[in-house]
Amino acid sequence: MNPHDIAPTLPAQFAALTPFTNWCLATETERNRKRNASAMLELQAFRDAILPQVDEVVRYLDGFSLDAMPKDALNLMHMLLSLAEIAPAVESYHQPGVIDGYDPARFVADEQFVMRPSV
Amino acid sequence: MDQKVINLKLHDRYPELGKGPVPVDPYISQDYYRREQGGIFRKTWLHVGRVEEIPSAGDYFVKDLASCDTSIIVVRNKKGEVRAMHNVCSHRMNQIVYEQRGHTRKFFCKFHGWAYDLDGNLTGVPDEECFFDLDRCEHGLSMVACDVWQGFIFVNMDPEPALSLADFMRPMFGGIEGFPFDKLTTGFGWSTVVNCNWKLALDAFQEAYHVAYVHGHSIADAIDTESGGSMPPLDALCGEYHRRLSIAGNPKSVYGNPNAVTAGGEAAKEALAVSGESKPIAAAALRAGMGSATHQFLKEDLPQGMNWTGHPNWLFDINVVFPDFYLSLRPNYCQAYNFRPIAHNKTLLEARVYYPEMKTAGGRFYLEYMKVTLRDVLLEDLSTLERTQAAVETGVKKNMVLQDYELLVRHSAHVVDRMVQQQAQQSTKKENA
């Protein structure tokens, strides 16, 4: 992220997650890159922070249309998608990357694909 | 679990395939690849995409087909039909379209401004009077045979295909027609160029023997396994060209019970009971996604060709459409992979997954969980390919040894070789004539 960008803000009731707003990333490519560049302890800290309130996060976000989320809700949505991104790391591999996996940087997500969802 | 079928003796049903070792030279031979190009890729229906990618007249995408040494424009015309044409101007051969996809009223060549309509007709030539008896009707774009099966667009470089697309597909896949593909309107895609032969790549996907090992860390728990981790398929089918394999899942996992998100109820309870403890993010994603899909996907509405053994724990059917299209059908989503050869030792893998549209943020979270899990499983599948190619290229081993549940690998090699030999015979006949 450009250091001149203002740090992403979250809806007030989820302010406790502010230390993890560097997970507010809009694309799979960015989320996967961050996962693979993180230490396992960082992934676990992020999971430990968001998982206990994940149902509340979902309930809050379900109140908005996916096509018209206010900016702070959209940031929270991107953080929630990051939780999905790290799920295999913390629940299956117990390391950031896929064990013995093909280089993820060579397996390029088509972020412009016409059938992708709006968020 | 006592309904599990073991000792299928699949090979006994297909004695023409034999049971012996299978040569690996076709994985590494440049000459064999050249013969595949002529004998297979230039005369077979090739899958290039979904109709939903080009919903409106003038929507188009370009597909580079290295195996046919060409680039194809696939476009929806004003009548709503899908047409395909070579991306080559009739004037001095420039590529007509530079972008990989877009929307246009007409195609204009950026070299000298020749214009073509959505059916490839030549409609405009700057300084036309300076040409010599130019007949526009003779200089349209070169059309490519194009047809649609269940929303999947296919092209065929043979201007007069030996079989219609319907006749090509129906003998093996008629029973899955009617699957609600049109309800799977959310798609994700990845691509990569893998340094291996296209058949070697495809073969890694047309058996489940590898699951306990390659996927031992990830989704092995989503698959219905015997004690000891082996994973017999429910059944397999081989036809003149195509092949199918049916696989059971473990309903006590989120990834192995995708039905839970659309069916809810007992299916969801079962998936959540165990995963809630061992995989809490997976469980949260499933809780979040339930009720979000725009379509219900009732198991009883699925066409009878899916889960053709009727197994209660059925998870998915692998459908391999000859030559290089892998279509995995689940109760409420599907995976579509193409293993497009670029050279004898280079393959473009284009992987797509299509899910039902999710109306809510929670549903979107669920899809992301399913997609990311799938992507990581693909990274596991891809991990062996370049290593295997390098190992084959050492020349140390001339054959591979296949077990009963690797029937599809054997069938694939058999059909490819039959087509290559047929082409050789036809060429010889032509030369003698």
Of these ranges, B4-8, B67-71, B232-236, the one predicted with the greatest mean pLDDT is B67-71
What is the per-residue pLDDT for B1?
A: 42
A119 touches B: beta carbon within 8 Å: yes
Which element (helix H / strand E) includes A28? helix A28-37
Find the mean pLDDT for residues B44-73. Answer: 98
In a domain, A16, yes or no: no
Query: How does pLDDT run across B336-352, given as a tens digit for each residue?
Result: 999 999 999 999 999 99
Q: How far apart, in Å, do the first and last CA atoms of chain A sit?
A: 19
Q: Is the pLDDT of residue A34 over 80?
A: yes
Please report the DSSP string for B22-80 in residue order. Answer: EE-HHHH-HHHHHHHIIIIITSS-EEEEEGGGS-STTEEEEEEEGGGTEEEEEEE-TTS
Q: How far apart are CA B186 and CA B369, in angstroms?
A: 14
What confidence tier does B2 reach under pLDDT thresholds 50, 70, 90? very low
**Token output for B229:** 């981790």
Q: Is the pLDDT of residue B197 over 90?
A: yes
What confidence tier does B431 reach under pLDDT thresholds 50, 70, 90? confident
In a domain, A112, yes or no: no
Q: Report whether B57 contacts B102 (CB < 8 A).
A: no
B188 touches A: beta carbon within 8 Å: yes
Q: Is the pLDDT of residue B399 over 90?
A: yes
Query: How does pLDDT run across B23-47, given as a tens digit for each residue?
Result: 999 999 999 999 999 999 999 999 9
In a domain, A62, yes or no: yes
Beta strands in B66-129 (DSSP E): 70-76, 82-86, 101-103, 107-108, 115-116, 122-124
Of A64, A66, A102, the CB nearest to B383: A102
Find the mean pLDDT for residues B38-67. Answer: 97
In a domain, A32, yes or no: yes
Residue with tokens 């395909």: B84
Report which of residues B433 and A83 the model is more confident about: A83
Q: Is the pLDDT of residue B356 over 60?
A: yes
Distance from CA of A35 to the nearest CA of B (A): 12
CB B288 to CB A110 under 8 A? no
CB A102 to CB B287 under 8 A? no
In a domain, A63, yes or no: yes
Report which of residues B299 and B87 the model is more confident about: B87
Distance from CA of A8 to the nearest CA of B (A): 19
B369 touches A: beta carbon within 8 Å: yes
Report which of residues B277 and B227 the model is more confident about: B277
Chain B residue closest to A117 (CA)? Answer: B186
Closest CA relative to residue B29, chosen from B407, B261, B305, B345: B345
CB A84 to CB B368 under 8 A? yes
CB A91 to CB B375 under 8 A? no
Strand B22-23 to B399-400 pairing: antiparallel
CA B274 to chain centre: 33
In a domain, A69, yes or no: yes
What is the per-residue pLDDT for B226?
A: 63
In a domain, A117, yes or no: no
Of B186, B193, B365, the CB nearest to A84: B365
Find the mean pLDDT for residues B411-416. Answer: 98
Q: How far apart are CA A39 and CA A37, in angstroms?
A: 7
Q: Is the pLDDT of residue A1 over 90?
A: no
Q: Is the pLDDT of residue A119 over 90?
A: yes
* CB contacts, 8 Å: B362 with chain A: 58, 61-62
Number of domains in chain A: 1
Q: Report whether B282 contacts B369 (CB < 8 A).
A: yes
* CB contacts, 8 Å: A101 with chain B: 376, 379-380, 382-383
B255 touches A: beta carbon within 8 Å: no
Query: How does pLDDT run across B95-117, given as a tens digit for each residue?
Result: 999 999 999 999 999 999 999 99
Report which of residues B222 and B180 the model is more confident about: B180
What is the per-residue pLDDT for B211?
A: 86
Q: Which of B47-51, B142-146, B301-305, B324-328 is the least confident region?
A: B301-305
Q: How far apart are CA A71 and CA A9, in angstroms?
A: 8
Find the mean pLDDT for residues A53-76. Answer: 97
Range of the domain at A50: 21-98
Q: Is the pLDDT of residue B228 over 80?
A: no
What is the per-residue pLDDT for B230?
A: 67
What is the per-residue pLDDT for B344?
A: 98
Q: Report whether B123 contacts B186 (CB < 8 A).
A: no
* CA atoms lying within 13 Å on the CB side of residue B179: 28
In a domain, A80, yes or no: yes
The yes/no answer to whether this complex scores an ipTM above 0.95 is yes
B365 touches A: beta carbon within 8 Å: yes
Q: Is the pLDDT of residue B291 over 80?
A: yes
A1 touches B: beta carbon within 8 Å: no
